[in-house]
Amino acid sequence: MYREVPEPIQKPHEGPGEMGKPVVIPKEEQEKMKEMFKINQFNLMASELIALNRSLPDVRLEGCKTKVYLDNLPTTSVVIVFHNEAWSTLLRTVHSVINRSPRHMLEEIVLVDDASERDFLKRPLENYVKKLKVPVHVIRMEQRSGLIRARLKGAAASKGQVITFLDAHCECTVGWLEPLLARIKADRRTVVCPIIDVISDDTFEYMAGSDMTYGGFNWKLNFRWYPVPQREMDRRKGDRTLPVRTPTMAGGLFSIDRDYFQEIGTYDAGMDIWGGENLEISFRIWQCGGTLEIVTCSHVGHVFRKATPYTFPGGTGQIINKNNRRLAEVWMDEFKNFFYIISPGVTKVDYGDISSRLGLRRKLQCKPFSWYLENVYPDSQIPRHYFSLGEIRNVETNQCLDNMARKENEKVGIFNCHGMGGNQVFSYTANKEIRTDDLCLDVSKLNGPVTMLKCHHLKGNQLWEYDPVKLTLLHVNSNQCLDKATEEDSQVPSIRDCNGSRSQQWLLRNVTLPEIF
């Protein structure tokens, strides 16, 4: 698979993929292209056609292009961990760092090989990087350890005042580094992420990411992008070139002061392979007195994949559940129950010893998760105040509401209760919404079916009153009661005139969380 990659000779703006243009593979090559796609779960053939130092558009906001930065910004080491990465994407990451960073701010690049099995990542890689004009160190994990412990090893070996982590399939654009380092110089407890642009996994086209999205998470503890809320626009007085305070980071691309990284407890070395570390460090930064930002004047591209190309020794689910369990137990206080009720399987994994992480939390006197939800992430899908969390069971049929499609605008179903959480978990909040993630139970006409719509917090068609004695769920706007599935449509509950029948009685599982109230 390894082939000698000559020093790129194309003139800028010519050749495949220049200026971030998409690469189209001719018909006759497409069989081979599909085969090659499987190796890394991206279009490896396209990537190999593109120069390692391809040109990219300047996608920054106009107001970013004229900003000036101090010359004495801290130096950074760039740490890139990889497992079986492709030659072209790994080296394109390296070249883009070298070509688009002011030389005096770039201490070195540290490549951490997480026990890759490909020969071209051994000696050929070492020989290649020796010729580059910036020190590039290749260090190796003795055994497959996962990205978390690999990053720890890279961080420990790095010398810059700042550590900048990148995935191994990134491309930095003009001016990416200065605004990141400037924020850290202004406040060493600020951890900063660039805007993550999209490099297409199909064509390697470069597409600017939005400065209007920031990081959040859902009940399953998946990282998710959400629109930047109005309060954050207001705080910046509408200036989109100012950094956005973000509740969470995606995980792969960020800069942090080297000593501060130590102070706040680096990463949880008990986490394996992949996943969870991004929310863990996000919660920790905020709860323990730091700030997490997306610096909108810094753009770095990343190849977003639809599937993972590598093995997860021990099973994907097991590993991610373990990592998530560790972060929930250490940082989320009673709110971990949201996660456990929606994913009951998680509570069965062995998550190892977390005493040193709990000790860290005590030592740093970190704030509770409720503080984080209230002050950093008030738009969270996890409501701070709620009455119940769990299934909503019909007394007559003994069946449960089921958000089968988990999509906006979809009708709610009613099926046998499976007790497995997931689509049958709803919360009844203090605002009298019935919700799951950011979707709310909504009915828009008399006798109408129940659908899931984005919660609007305006009460209206999303306001429900539960009567714990009569067990009814009154849809206030229509003054009708939630009823089991009707004859016309045996799987879609709807509202009907309240008549006291058992088909209008519902059991809400009550979770007592005294700390919250």
Residues that bind Mn ion (CB under 5 A): 167
The entry of ligand LR7, Mn ion, none that residue 114 binds, CB within 5 to 8 Å by partner kind: ligand LR7
The answer to whether 232 and 244 have CB atoms below 8 angstroms apart is yes
Closest of 213, 513, 476 to residue 382, by C-alpha: 513
Query: C-beta of 105: minimal distance to ligand LR7 in Å?
Result: 22
Residue nearest to Mn ion (CB): 167
Instruction: Please report how close the Cβ of residue 252 comes to ligand LR7 at its closest, in angstroms.
Output: 2
Residue 141 CB, shortest distance to ligand LR7, in Å, is 8
Q: In angstroms, give the least distance from the CB of 415 to ligand LR7.
A: 32
Q: Which does 339 bind (CB under 5 to 8 A by kind): Mn ion, ligand LR7, none?
A: none
Q: From the CB of 241, what's the least distance to Mn ion, in Å?
A: 26
Task: Give φ, ψ of 231 to 5 degrees.
Answer: -60, -35
Contact partner, 69, from ligand LR7, Mn ion, none, Cβ < 5-8 Å per class: none
CA distances from 161 to 74, 75, 107, 134 (A): 6, 5, 9, 16
Helical ranges in 142-246 per DSSP H: 147-157, 177-186, 230-235
Q: Which is nearer to ligand LR7, 168 or 292 (CB)?
A: 168
Identify which of residues 25 and 196 has a Cβ nearer to ligand LR7 in the complex. Answer: 196
Residue 167 vs 277, nearer CB to Mn ion: 167
Would you say 225 or 387 has its CB closer to ligand LR7?
A: 225
Residues 285 and 115: their CA atoms lie apart, in Å, by 30
509: alpha, beta or left, given left = phi > 0 and alpha = psi -120 to 50? beta
Find which of ligand LR7, Mn ion, none residue 150 binds, CB within 5 to 8 Å per kind.
ligand LR7
C-alpha to C-alpha distance for 120 and 442, rounded to whole angstroms = 56
215 and 223 Cβ atoms separated by less than 8 Å: yes
CB of 167 to Mn ion, least distance (A): 4
Which residue's CB is nearer to ligand LR7, number 117 or number 408? Answer: 117
- Helix, strand, coil percentages, rounded to 5, for the chain: 30, 25, 45
Shortest distance in whole angstroms from residue 68 CB to ligand LR7: 29
205, 402, 413, 442, 448 from 410: Cα distances, Å = 33, 11, 9, 10, 13
Question: From the list ligand LR7, Mn ion, none, which binds 82 (C-beta under 5 to 8 Å, kind-based)?
Answer: ligand LR7
- Considering the complex, what minimum distance in angstroms separates the CB of residue 430 from ligand LR7? 31
Determine the Cα–Cα distance for residues 464 and 85; give it in Å rounded to an integer. 51
Nearer to ligand LR7, 196 or 376 (CB): 196
In the complex, the smallest distance separating the C-beta of residue 278 from ligand LR7, rounded to whole angstroms, is: 4
What number of H helices and E strands is found in the chain?
14, 25
Nearer to ligand LR7, 147 or 440 (CB): 147
Q: Which residues contact 469 (CB under 8 A, 6 or more apart)?
A: none
294 by DSSP, 3-state: which?
strand
Q: Is 500 within 8 Å of 421 (Cβ atoms)?
A: no
**Residue 250 binds what, of ligand LR7, Mn ion, none (CB under 5 to 8 Å, by partner type)?**
ligand LR7
CB of 36 to ligand LR7, least distance (A): 17
Binding-site partner at residue 162 among Mn ion, ligand LR7, none, CB < 5 to 8 Å by type? none
Q: Which does 196 bind (CB under 5 to 8 A by kind): ligand LR7, Mn ion, none?
A: ligand LR7
Q: How many other CB atoms are there within 10 angstroms of residue 279's CB atom?
A: 25
> Interface residues with ligand LR7 (CB under 6 A)?
81-83, 85, 114, 146-147, 150, 167-168, 196, 223, 250-253, 273-275, 277-278, 302, 308, 310
How many other C-beta atoms are found inside a 10 Å radius of the C-beta of residue 99? Answer: 15
Tokens standing for residue 217 = 């998470």
Among Mn ion, ligand LR7, none, what does residue 42 contact (CB within 5–8 Å per kind)?
A: none
**Residue 308 binds which entry of Mn ion, ligand LR7, none, with Cβ cut-offs from 5 to 8 Å by kind?**
ligand LR7
Provide, rounded to whole angstroms, the least separation between the CB of residue 140 and ligand LR7.
11
Burial class of 74 by CB neighbour count within 10 A (0 to 12, 13 to 18, 19+): middle
Element (H, E) at 414: strand 413-416
Instruction: Indicate which of Mn ion, ligand LR7, none lies near residue 267 (CB less than 5 to 8 Å, by partner kind).
Output: none
Whichever of 173 and 399 has its CB closer to ligand LR7, that residue is 173
Where helices occur in 332-435 by DSSP H, the ranges are 336-342, 355-363, 369-375
Complex with ligand LR7: residue 250 or 417, whichever CB lies closer:
250
20 binds, options Mn ion, ligand LR7, none, Cβ within 5 to 8 A by partner type: none
- Beta strand 170-172 pairing with 291-303: antiparallel
The nearer residue to ligand LR7, 251 or 413, going by C-beta atoms, is: 251
Classify the phi-psi angles of 363: left when phi > 0, otherwise alpha if psi is within -120 to 50, otherwise beta: alpha
Q: With respect to Mn ion, which residue has the nearer C-beta, 85 or 379?
A: 85
Is the CB of 114 or the CB of 211 nearer to ligand LR7?
Answer: 114
Q: How far is the CB of 168 from Mn ion (least distance, A)?
A: 7
Beta bridge partners of 451: 411, 442
